[in-house]
Chain A
Amino acid sequence: MAHYDYEEKKLSVSRREFLGLLGVGAAVIWMGAYVTTDLVKNRKKYIRMRAQGLYKDDGQSVIRQSHNNKALMDMYAQFAGKPLSTVPQELFHTKYVDRINLGGVI
């Protein structure tokens, strides 16, 4: 019969301590989840901040509609005529390309 001197080390965690450790563990996991949630929420924050910057620019503008832009109307009067007329059709409008049916360019 083999004989072992080894005596198992006693791990004595009382019921009270066990519940305490459980609580600490739960808190760690919970905080991790909280941090991750925050991260997910805030990752779009810079988009909202930049968007607010543009809405602020709009809000503080004296003129807020395109058709009231006087310099633009001057341009139409002196140069382009009316929207969608000949000169704008030449310069400010375009056509699109069906790329599915477009041959390859090497």
Chain B
Amino acid sequence: MMGLQENEFRGIIQIDKKACKGCDGCKSVCPTGAIEGKYGANHTINQEKCIDCGQCLINCPFGAPIDTIDMVDQVMARLIDKSTTVVATIAPSVRVAIGEEFGMEPGTLATAKLYGALKQVGFKILDTNFTADMTIMEEGTELVEKLRHYFLGEDTVTPVGPLPQLTSCCPGWVHYAELNNPGVLKHMSSAKSPMMMAGALAKTYGAQNIWGVDPQQIYVVGIMPCTAKKFEASRPEFYNAAQYWGKRGRTGNYPDIDTVLTTRDLARLLKKLNIDLQAVAEITDADNPLAQYSGAGTIFGNTGGVMEAALRTAYFVITGQELPILSFEPVRGLNGVKKTDISLHDAQTGKDFILKVAVVNGIKENLTSVIEEVEAGNSPYHFIEIMNCPGGCVNGGGQPTNPMGTAWIDKYKALLPW
């Protein structure tokens, strides 16, 4: 198959032929046009185009697309094995959706219950929100360096990429760009996604400074609202912790993230272990340094959230003051492309400049115009957040499927008179 590196997962999402009714609902949400088959006939997924985002899976009214990577039993086996330190890294969006699998309302914030349940079954916690904050430090610093270089003419230590800078947190978007718009990859922030940072951090800083264990004995499980994260974790680039220790005289070859469970997978794991999330004792985990996160880290799961979090820090770094109003409304909400300008006053040089940002909410509907400008080199923006799923990770392909799923309506929306 074309377009894959060695050992990368392929065909994560498959369509169950018996369940498919050929309604074309999936085609109306698929960002890459990977779904083939005529209206009324069984559909199949062209795996060379698929980016594993799982939008078809959560929107299908018949539950035909399935996630074929099931690691629940393997993770349970690791939890029983006492010589392994099993680390869970929980994405922001998991905490507001996993409750749905246990009879809570969508949006119920279940962080403390989730920590309680994970501890009870034997996980150590490295909250992805902590590494989301780290992503902001890395990606934000990168952005500030570029701004200082291009606006203020300052020299940089290492060569910087061109503006606009594109966010790199969404594995669906990264995979999409690699397949369809490789010309924009030089604009992509070099910062890893929070999950991949969590994997590398767990097996270095976590192993050495926090848990005091051999990095080879650590098994990191990404708990994600996303099926594309399963693909991302399988990429051959992400053996950085092993390489880090290799340079420092310790042998071994192991991936940064060992496996990924979606929100649905984790709910299944907890149910197999007879744990009811509603009944679990709450834990705040206040003395675990790897579970400390800021409000900026947690909003990563929303469309516009990465932008908002980055602006809070970039504004502070450049102006020397905190943003006066932290809830940055222009990048919130479910509009397709959200644009705004922020005027900045550089504290060091006293110069003023305007930072233009855009947020792309959903690749399928909203990417084309924005990315064409970037490819043509006449994009008016300096920083662009792009997420594959409409609404952001909260609506990711690994989230609980919601009975409100009504993708078939899109097909007929054009016919409706109002």
Contact = CB atoms under 8 A, between A and B. Distances in A.
A3 interface: no
Interface stretch (A9-17, A20-28, A83-91): A83-91
Interface-centre pick from A36, A50, A72 (highest chain B CB count, 10 A): A50
Interface string B78-112: 00000000000000110111000000011111010
A45 B326 contact: no
Contacts of B299: 54-55, 57-58
Contacts of B192: 92-94
A53 to B, nearest CB: 3
Contacts of A83: 137-138, 140-141
B250 to A, nearest CB: 14
Given A43-B406, A57-B295, A50 B130 contact: no
A69 B130 contact: yes
Contacts of B406: 39-40, 43
Contacts of B182: 98-101
B142 interface: yes
A81 B374 CA distance: 33
Interface stretch (B65-73, B308-316, B351-359): B308-316
Contacts of A106: 1
Given A57-B111, A95-B190, A50 B138 contact: no
Interface residues of B, number: 94
Nearest to B140: A66
B97 A50 contact: yes
Interface-centre pick from A49, A53, A106 (highest chain B CB count, 10 A): A53
A18 interface: no
Interface string A58-82: 1101011111111110111011100
B397 interface: no
Contacts of B297: 66, 69
Contacts of A88: 138
A69 B133 contact: yes
Given A45-B404, A48-B334, A91 B241 contact: yes
Interface residues of A, number: 61
B227 to A, nearest CB: 17
Contact of B145 (A84, A98, A104, A105): A84
A70 B286 CA distance: 13
A96 interface: yes
B292 A70 contact: yes
A99 B326 contact: no
Interface string A33-52: 10011011011111111111
A50 B107 contact: yes
Given A72-B134, A96-B185, A91 B334 contact: no
B177 interface: yes
A97 interface: yes
A11 to B, nearest CB: 31
B316 A67 contact: yes
Contacts of A69: 130, 133, 292-294, 297
A100 B3 contact: yes
Given A46-B106, A70-B292, A72-B134, A105 B313 contact: no
Contacts of B316: 65, 67
Contacts of A1: none
Interface string B126-160: 00001011101110111001000000000000100
A84 B137 CA distance: 9
B133 A66 contact: yes
Contacts of A105: 1, 4-6, 8
A54 to B, nearest CB: 5
Contact of A50 (B178, B290, B296, B394): B394
Contacts of A54: 92-93, 96, 298-299, 301-302, 305, 394
A44 B391 contact: yes
A88 B327 CA distance: 29
A2 interface: no
Interface in B30-81: none
Contact of A58 (B200, B209, B298, B418): B298
Given A58-B296, A92-B197, A102 B418 contact: no
A68 B138 contact: no
A49 B145 CA distance: 36
**Top 6 A-B pairs ranked by shortest CB distance?**
A53-B96, A58-B295, A49-B107, A64-B295, A61-B295, A53-B107
8 contacts: A44-B334, A55-B299, A58-B327, A72-B133, A92-B191, A93-B138, A98-B185, A104-B1
Given A57-B95, A57-B298, A66-B137, 11 more contacts: A47-B395, A48-B334, A54-B93, A54-B394, A57-B299, A72-B137, A75-B205, A90-B240, A99-B3, A105-B6, A106-B1
